[in-house]
Structure 1
Amino acid sequence: MSGPGRPDIDRAYLVCASQRSGSTLLVESLRVTGVAGRPAEFFEYLPDTSLPPQSPDWFVGVHDPAIDALLAPVRPGRPDTRDAQEWRDDVRGQGVGENGVWGGKLMWNQSTLLCHRVRDLLGGREPLLREAVEAVVGVEPLWVYVHRADVAGQAVSMWRAVQTQEWTAGASDRDARAEYHLGAIAHLAEYFVAQQRAWEGWFTREGIEPLRIEFDELVADPTSTTARVLDVLGLDPTLAPPPPLRRQGDARSREWVARYRDEAAEHGYPVSTAHPDAVPAAES
């Protein structure tokens, strides 16, 4: 069993993505169907703090006081005291629905942490990523790959979020104080190109053909996109809901993206996943 009073996991899917790629819109749409489990980003929480990565974590190795001054302050956390078995039971139990369907989301930058956490389940042996996922979920999931070719827009969205800690739509005083910074956006754009290339390389090496969903397709018609995932899972596609989230991008985002694209052309910074000079992320 997945845990006391919880159903066994019969089917599973894992949304693979990078931050600000539209994956939250897809996951929330699947969640509200009531039949696609209770998907969440279970693997983002750091054992030392029980919190997701915070704003400075996205700029490790970047030494720019102007960027540091714009980042949201670090919140205190507390260590995660669960052992590996308790952690796995929580992930399984929190993601599974009453019909035995489990859903989750994994970003490439979380894959190493996931493998480390699974190590104690395997007698101290460090697993590869696919083995780690199966050790947690118990079955081979449907791999759903959400990607965003426009890393200029993706990086601008992330830069606003790490300054403000506003991850969904809704104006606030904090967002009004966010400032444009070319170097910060370029660093994040390079990071997202590397993450997406890492996913593509991993799928190829593993012989996996994931269910591919592009950002533009998703935001243009979230209901139809969600219905496609449900159909592949063998669930009722007519349960796909209207979009449960409003798109966060606005006129300010478009202004920053246009500005970044102009400046990126001068400096050779990436604006899309086709950029030839991005450095691949480490493989897992």
Structure 2
Amino acid sequence: MLDIVVCATQRCGSTLFLEDMRNIGILGMPEEYFISWIDGPQDQDWRKKLQELHDKARSANGVTAVKIMANQLSGIDNRLATLVSSDADGIFPHVAHTFNDALWVWLHRRDVVEQAISRVIARQTKVYHATEDHKFEHFTGNAMRGYDENYNRDAEYDRTQIFREVNSITLEALTWRHFFESHKITPLEFVYEDVVQDEDMRHLDMLMKRLGIAGPVSKTSRTSAKLGNRRNIEWRERFLREAAGSHFNLAKFS
């Protein structure tokens, strides 16, 4: 079993959230381990893969944690269907059955337009994470070492791409809601904008309390840098202005 499943969508701030969990050393070693399940060969020993996942996801105190993206649910469920049977009526029943004892943690952003812009810029620049200083390493292994505020200067505004991502994010969030409702799961819910502003990292305290882990513990500062900058703000203002200018006529706007 897993102790914590972090439910997320791309560019929702989950990497920052996971860094906090990993740094504390007692809330598992969460990462996006299921990528290899989705992108790798289908004819694998999934029971062995699941055990390997547990081993990687475990912190020294035995707590295990992973992250699942909404767009991975179908692929994960198909793989788990070869290992377990489930008579549940809800969507992705094998995911719910396999991790039924886990604490489900749902992280999302309040501003989906900002999230959509983050996706578009990341896709264009190929920069998905960055560290504050070039001396720092990042657990994802694919971060820009040392933040450069000009990293996205060549990114090109594309209203259609942003609009499509807004739609995708909205549908992905609805998918998570439907999953929770169909399996009577009440997730521990966090909003990125609140988490990133909370210097006390109270989200970690809440996770520890739900798992019955005694505190207090030392909390480590993040090495991750916030990628969003003036260009993100300008794109957001332009997108919302154009949306209002079209009277929110989606056929014309997209």
With normalisation by structure 1, the TM-score equals 0.72
Q: What is the rounded CA distance, in whole Å, between the counterparts of 2:249 and 2:59 in structure 1? A: 43
Query: Of residues 140, 143, 150 in structure 1, which corresponds to 2:101?
Result: 140
Q: What is the rounded CA distance, in whole Å, between the counterparts of 2:33 and 2:103 in structure 1? A: 17
Q: What SS does the corresponding residue of 1:143 show, helix, strand or coil?
A: strand
Give the 3 Å change call, closer, same or farther, for CA 124–199 of structure 1 in structure 2: closer
Aligned residue number for residue 72 of structure 2 = 110
Q: What is the rounded CA distance, in whole Å, between the counterparts of 1:211 and 1:124 in structure 2? A: 24
Give the 3 Å change call, closer, same or farther, for CA 211–225 of structure 1 in structure 2: same
Q: 30-39 vs 229-238, which deviates more?
A: 229-238
State the 1:246 CA deviation: 1.9
Aligned residue number for residue 134 of structure 2 = none
Aligned residue number for residue 189 of structure 1 = 166
State the 1:104 CA deviation: 0.5
- Which 5+ residue runs of structure 1 have no aligned equivalent? 1-8, 51-78, 271-284
Q: What is the rounded CA distance, in whole Å, between the counterparts of 1:114 and 1:269 in structure 2? A: 37
State the 1:90 CA deviation: 1.6
Question: Cα deviation per residue 1:158-178 (whole Å; 9 max; x = unaligned)?
Answer: 101111221113338763321
Q: What is the rounded CA distance, in whole Å, between the counterparts of 2:170 and 2:227 in structure 1? A: 21
Query: Of residues 93, 118, 121 in structure 2, which corresponds to 1:160?
Result: 121
Structure 1 residue 225 and structure 2 residue 203: aligned? yes
Aligned pairs (5 A) from 1:134-283 = 134-135=97-98, 140-169=101-130, 170-171=147-148, 175-221=152-198, 223-235=201-213, 236-267=215-246, 268=248
Question: Cα deviation per residue 1:94-145 (whole Å; 9 max; x = unaligned)?
Answer: 111232200011111110010111122137999953532543x5x6110101
Q: How many residues align?
A: 230
Q: What SS does the corresponding residue of 1:167 show, helix, strand or coil?
A: coil
Q: 115-124 vs 200-209, which deviates more?
A: 115-124
Q: 165-174 vs 30-39, which deviates more?
A: 165-174
Q: What is the root-mean-square deviation of aligned Cα atoms in Å?
A: 2.7
Query: Of residues 39, 45, 51 in structure 1, which corresponds to 2:30?
Result: 39
Do the aligned residues in 2 keep the contact of 1:227 with 1:239 (CA within 8 Å)? no
Q: What SS does the corresponding residue of 2:80 show, helix, strand or coil?
A: helix
Aligned residue number for residue 5 of structure 2 = 14
Do the aligned residues in 2 keep the contact of 1:230 with 1:237 (CA within 8 Å)? no
State the 1:269 CA deviation: 7.7
- Which 5+ residue runs of structure 2 have no aligned equivalent? 131-146
Q: What is the rounded CA distance, in whole Å, between the counterparts of 2:208 and 2:72 in structure 1? A: 25
Aligned residue number for residue 129 of structure 1 = 92
Q: What SS does the corresponding residue of 2:73 show, helix, strand or coil?
A: helix
State the 1:201 CA deviation: 2.3
Question: Cα deviation per residue 1:202-223 (whole Å; 9 max; x = unaligned)?
Answer: 2122221111101111111162
Give the 3 Å change call, closer, same or farther, for CA 193–237 of structure 1 in structure 2: farther
State the 1:40 CA deviation: 0.6
With normalisation by structure 2, the TM-score equals 0.80
Do the aligned residues in 1 keep the contact of 2:92 with 2:179 (CA within 8 Å)? no
Do the aligned residues in 2 keep the contact of 1:190 with 1:269 (CA within 8 Å)? no
Aligned residue number for residue 95 of structure 1 = 57
Q: Give the fraction of aligned pairs with identical amino acids, expressed as a percent.
A: 27
Do the aligned residues in 2 keep the contact of 1:31 with 1:38 (CA within 8 Å)? yes
Do the aligned residues in 2 keep the contact of 1:155 with 1:185 (CA within 8 Å)? yes
Aligned residue number for residue 133 of structure 2 = none
